[in-house]
Amino acid sequence: MKRKRATLIIQTIFVLIIIGGAYSFAMFQGGMPSWTIFYFILPFSLYALSIVLYPLKSFTVTRTIQQPLLGIGESTKVTIRVKRTNRFPLLYLTVKEQECGGFASVIQGGTSQLFIVGFRKEVVLQYELKGKQRGEHHFPPVQIGITDFFGWIKKQGTIDVEGESVLLIFPETKSVHYVPIGSYHDRGTTRSPFSLIKETTVATSVRDYQPGDRMSWIHWKSFARTQNLMTKEFENKRGEHVTLLLDARTSLAFEEQIQFTASILKEAATRKADLTFLTTDAENSAIGTISGEGQLRKALTQLARLQPIEETMAKPPNYTVALQGAGAIVIISGNPDPVFLRPVLSASRAQPVFCFIVRNGAVPMPDFVEQNVKAARALGVTVQMLTDEQFECSFQEVAKT
């Protein structure tokens, strides 16, 4: 700020020297040519001095993001409107969106533009972004600048933007063949690798209709009698509830863990699977039954904002409460150490626990992770190690074991 002010003072002194020099030349030299030069320079010099006095506070900037929620590889248009409160004739106005920090790339238009304003009170800058990196990204203030005819005076400043300044980029997803694993019969404790769909031939009761229920499950006789939509409840041949637990602690493959989790959630929502999503970050609440676009978007938003938590700063949730009524528990982790697994196993109430160890294929697995994998298996956890190339068949592989 001080540097800009010092530069502006130097530029003002330069313009004053030009005016003084031209006037002195005309006074001492005399004659029509000398005075012609002075009167030619004077309007441009006075206009340059008026730029010094022009208040940048008269500008207001508004940003509009056409689609503030993006997936990686998707694009959106950004519109920046710069308005001012007067019609003072401005020759040049530069509007520059500062760097996006690498989270997106510009695929159309430009983030800076030079406008010849004149008497206009509003100019519009448009460009198109493509998401590159997941996360909640904040746009910096917009930089504007005004200048005179010859560039003698350049006045610049940053303006806080009204409107949207946050772009949320969802994690990338891959194809995953989701198969509910570790299910149980409703009667007895026989373990089954695959879970069947509800038995829809024998209705045991009715309940209030919920969005996402099939039309064929509606109990039309109750609707005719009460004028309230009711849904049939069927006997389950096998339970299929799954709790998906993401280990949010720092690991070498944290981004791959996020990608795998997002892929599972997207596929589970498509299949309307009975799945609850939970992270080891106590600040993030559990999201139950990812069966619609709203809950899926809420879960993906949570994943987009999630940052790795240092081991010493981790505050896990109360697993006894979080896993209450849980079916099979599927853990996605980069390091299943016993300190992390024991509270989960204690709260699981003998339900099956599966753990996917996501690895970065380009980085060898550390020795301490291999030791923790052996310890997890000794605790009765079914462990499956995989890279991003093995996401698609991951659940099928575990179901076979």
What is the value of pTM for the model shown? Answer: 0.72
Round to whole Å and give the CA distance between 284 and 317.
9
Round to whole Å and give the CA distance between 245 and 275.
10
Round to whole Å and give the CA distance between 401 and 399.
6
Coil, strand, or helix at residue 399? helix
Closest listed residue to residue 278, CA positions, set 232, 342, 326: 326
Distances (CA, A) of 390 to 112, 248, 260, 362, 375: 43, 21, 10, 14, 23
Say if residue 10 is exposed, middle or buried (CB neighbours under 10 Å; 0-12, 13-18, 19+). exposed
Phi, psi for residue 20 in degrees, rounded to 5: -65, -40
Residues in the chain, how many?
A: 401
Closest listed residue to residue 394, CA positions, set 182, 178, 184: 178
Strand partners, 163: 63
Q: What is the predicted pLDDT for the residue at 198?
A: 44
Strand partners, 202: none
Residue with tokens 């009170």: 121
Q: What is the pLDDT along the chain (401 residues), one digit of tens a residue?
A: 678 888 889 999 999 999 999 999 888 887 888 899 899 999 999 999 999 999 999 999 999 999 988 888 889 999 999 999 999 999 999 999 887 767 888 888 888 999 999 999 999 999 999 988 888 888 889 999 999 999 899 999 999 999 888 899 999 888 888 776 654 434 333 343 334 334 444 555 677 776 666 666 677 777 777 877 777 665 544 446 788 899 888 888 899 999 999 998 888 888 777 788 888 887 777 777 776 778 888 888 889 998 888 876 767 778 877 777 667 888 999 888 888 888 888 888 778 888 999 888 777 888 888 898 899 899 888 888 888 888 888 877 776 66
Q: What is the predicted pLDDT for the residue at 25?
A: 87
The encoded tokens of residue 374 equal 């052996």
Q: Which helix (H) or strand (E) holds 12?
A: helix 2-29
